[in-house]
Every structure is written in C-alpha cells, then in structure tokens.
C-alpha cells in the first residue's frame, strides 16, 4: 500500500529528523546557557550561534522541498478541526524555524555584538546598531523559544497518538517505517 503519496519524500524525512535533533538541542542550549555563569555559559553561547544559522539554512532548504513536494494527505477520518489545527501548527513550526535564527542574528546585530560563527569568522550584521531594537528582539527571542518548545511537545504528543493509538500511518509517513 506504499503509494507515491503515502509518505513524505526522503529529503523531507531526512530534513525533519535532522532538524528535530538540532532544534531540540538548540532549545536546551539556549535555556541552559542563560541559567548559569560558569564556563559552560560562553561554551554554550559559542555553539548556539552556528547551530542557529545551520537551522536557518536547513529550514530554507526544507521550505523548498515542502513547496515542491506535496506531503501525504491526512487520513480521511481525521476530524476537520484537528486537520486544521495540524495545518496551522505546521505553518507556525516553519515560521519559528526561520524566524528564530533570523531574530537571533538580527538582535545580536542591533545589540552591536559581533555575530561570531567560529573564531575568525563573523557574520555581517543584518540590522544597524540600535539598543531599543535589540531589547525588544531579545525579549521576543526568549518568548518564541518557550512557544517553540511547547509546540514541539504538542507536535510530539500528537505524532505518538497517531503512532500508538490511532495507528493510521501518519507517524510512518514521516518515520519511513512500516505500519505493521
């Protein structure tokens, strides 16, 4: 029964799982680095910036894959409200994947900070130095991070409901595994 629209295409599946790992790591790094003043603070901060930019690049590629490849439809028996919620949550997830790194880059630019990828390579600022803009973007970066984490928890719970309770093939369309 594995028709062409049964699963996400392979690049979409690879991107999904790779980015799932990176984004979760990123949220934990972000929460961890602002929780401490020991030497993990600068270390985690040094990881946070390049991983963020990696997520931005992958998210743009993924958006390209998404618009050129129709995802498999949800099963017909998923209620319309749930299907709408799923669609909306996926729009928000894509939005956050792209917005979070951009906000991070923009806020560090506005804060007058060098946007260091690794020692010897900085990104160009994408906003002029403006402390008020920095202050607001920094606040947004934190708020969006919590929203992102909550949405990922809901997304994960819904995926597991499809996998273990409904057993309707939705989870397998992304895991690539067999339904039985």
Partner 1 sequence: MPSPSPSRNPLPALAVIALVVVVLALLFAWTGGWLTPARISGSVMVDALQSNTGKIFPGFRRAHTKGICVGGHFDSNGAGSALSTAALFTTGSFPVIGRFNTGGSVPTGADAGQIFHGLGMRFQLPGGREWRMALDQTPVFVVSNASDFIALETASTPDPATMKPDPAKMKAFLSTHPETQRFFDYLGKTPMPSSFANGTYYSINAFRFTDAHGVTRFVRWQFEPEQPFTALAKGNADTLPPNFLFDDLLQRIHEGPVKWHMILVPANPGDRTDNATIAWGPDHQRIDAGTLVFDKIATEEDGHCRDFNYDPLILPEGVAPSDDPLLSARSAAYSVSFQRRAAEGPRPDAITLELQHKGEVK
Report the interface residues with partner 1, using CB under 8 A. 1, 27-28, 31-32, 34-42, 75, 77, 111-114, 119-120, 122, 124, 129-132, 134-136, 138-139, 149, 153, 156-157, 160-161, 164-169
Q: Which is nearer to partner 1, 33 or 63 (CB)?
A: 33
Q: How far is the CB of 114 from partner 1 (least distance, A)?
A: 6
Q: What is the DSSP letter of 4?
A: T
CB of 141 to partner 1, least distance (A): 10
Based on CB atoms, which residue is closest to partner 1, 6 or 10?
A: 6
In terms of CB distance, is 37 or 67 closer to partner 1? 37
Question: What is the longest distance spanned by two Cα atoms in the chain?
Answer: 57
- Closer Cβ to partner 1, 87 or 167, answer by number: 167
DSSP states of 57-124 as a string?
Answer: HHHHHHHHHHHHSPPPPPPTTS-HHHHHHHHHHHHHHHHHHHHHHHHHHHHHHHTT--EEEETTEEEP
Give yes or no for a contact between 9 and 59, defined as CB atoms under 8 angstroms apart.
no
Q: Measure Cα distances from 157 to 120, 127, 151, 166 in Å.
A: 42, 38, 10, 12
Q: Please say which residue, 63 or 113, places its beta carbon nearer to partner 1.
A: 113
Shortest distance (Å) from residue 117 CB to partner 1 = 13
Question: How far apart are CB 24 and partner 1 at their closest, in Å?
Answer: 8
Q: How far is the CB of 157 from partner 1 (least distance, A)?
A: 5
Task: Judge whether 106 and 137 are in contact, CB under 8 Å.
Answer: yes
């Amino acid at each position: 029964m594995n028709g062409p629209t049964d699963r996400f295409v392979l690049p979409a599946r690879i991107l999904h799982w790779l980015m799932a790992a990176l984004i979760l790591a990123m949220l934990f790094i972000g929460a961890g680095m602002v929780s401490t003043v020991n030497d993990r603070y600068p270390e985690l901060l040094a990881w946070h910036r390049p991983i963020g930019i990696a997520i931005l690049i992958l998210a743009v590629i993924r958006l390209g894959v998404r618009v050129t490849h129709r995802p498999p439809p949800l099963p017909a028996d998923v209620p319309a409200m749930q299907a709408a919620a799923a669609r909306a949550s996926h729009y928000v997830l894509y939005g956050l994947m792209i917005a979070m790194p951009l906000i991070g880059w923009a806020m560090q630019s506005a804060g007058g900070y060098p946007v260091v990828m690794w020692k010897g390579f900085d990104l160009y600022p994408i906003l002029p130095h403006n402390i008020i803009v920095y202050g607001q973007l920094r606040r947004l970066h934190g708020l969006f991070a919590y929203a992102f984490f909550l949405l990922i928890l809901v997304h994960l719970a819904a995926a597991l409901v499809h996998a273990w309770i409904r057993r309707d093939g939705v989870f397998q369309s992304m895991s690539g595994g067999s339904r039985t």
